[in-house]
A and B are shown apart, each in its own frame.
Chain A
Amino acid sequence: MNAKRKTPLTRELTVKLDRNTYIVKYPNIGQLMQIESMKMLYSGNAYGSMIRTRTKSSERVLDLIDMVSHLTVLMPELNDDIIGAKSINDLDIVKAQPFLDLYKKQIQPWLEQWDKELNAPIIDNNPISDDELED
């Protein structure tokens, strides 16, 4: 897809939280849709407009929404710890900080790499090398 990378991009990511290790799998389509829906749910259908009118305070809220939406779907084992809250307003910011760090430092960069890979231009002028064409 993209130019050859030094380290292969894996479908699973091992993350650390406190002393525990977790394995996060790249979401399937249902999970991706669920994540998007949760963004809408937690933002009161205002996710798009929050991105468009990005302020410092909205940025913080967007980070929290992204974190909760992703971790709820990708790491359901953490739900009791972080998603006891029914809305972002119910979130304990101090309690949420380690999860925010986990998402922003470990999971988000990995997902962004995959997004970049999956969104690489589809049209390739010559995907086959000359060697493959030799009789």
Chain B
Amino acid sequence: MKKLSAINTGPRVLVQLFLLLLVFVSILPLYNVIAASFKSENEFAVSPFFPPRSPTGENFVYAAVTARLLRFAINSLILVPIGLVLYLAVCVTAGYAFGKMKFRLKRPLFLLVLFLTIFPQLLLATQVFKLISLLHLTNTGLGVILTWVAYFSPFGTYIMTTYFTDMPYELVEAARMDGASPLRILVRVMTPLAMPMIATIAIIGFQSMWNELPFSLLILQNPASRTLTLGIAMMRGEYGIGVPALSAALVIAMAVPLVMFLIFQRRVTLGVTAGAIKG
């Protein structure tokens, strides 16, 4: 069935043109980097804009090996999944407690969690850095993982809480009648039912940790321990690296999130709305 529309056919063409223009403007910076990544330094100097005339792969080799991007990618691929597992464990247990359990301090504690979701990393950075040094966790994966989990959990907990709150209480009740312990109810009954939302916050958590800069910048000061995101941020302005090599590094770094998007497109979209709009 054709939907009624407030835009006539004539203006429709104009609207399409407007949107295409917007797409063009929006894509141009990305095109620019992709084109540059296949150019030699010389070609880029003469022609920074047009597609490469004689595409070369040497920038990619330089970025991956000489600039150690491969190493950084492996660091990220180790740190982020470990962080993600901890993050999910923390958010699901806390979300369940807030969503389905009764206790006296529920309201104030939940408000506290909400209150803490938005403080910028830089506000906490100096003291977190001091704490990490005290624990002898500077330059360690554990240091940055703990910080990430602590920093990103409040938002994940909030989303899990709204989800658990909306689930029917009879489920808990029935399991309790069967004599199941709270932990058992959470692990065996509620967690499987909450899988759709857990998958959604897993994507949110992954993106947050994968793209995180300020904490990794301060905690991972040893160049060998850099994450991919930190590696890219530090590469800009590093002496001797040209735009084509930097562009190749960017193209490599873009691969992971883009592949994620292609696989999980629907879930990524849901993640955007999960925070505020329900249903």
Q: Do A and B bind each other?
A: no
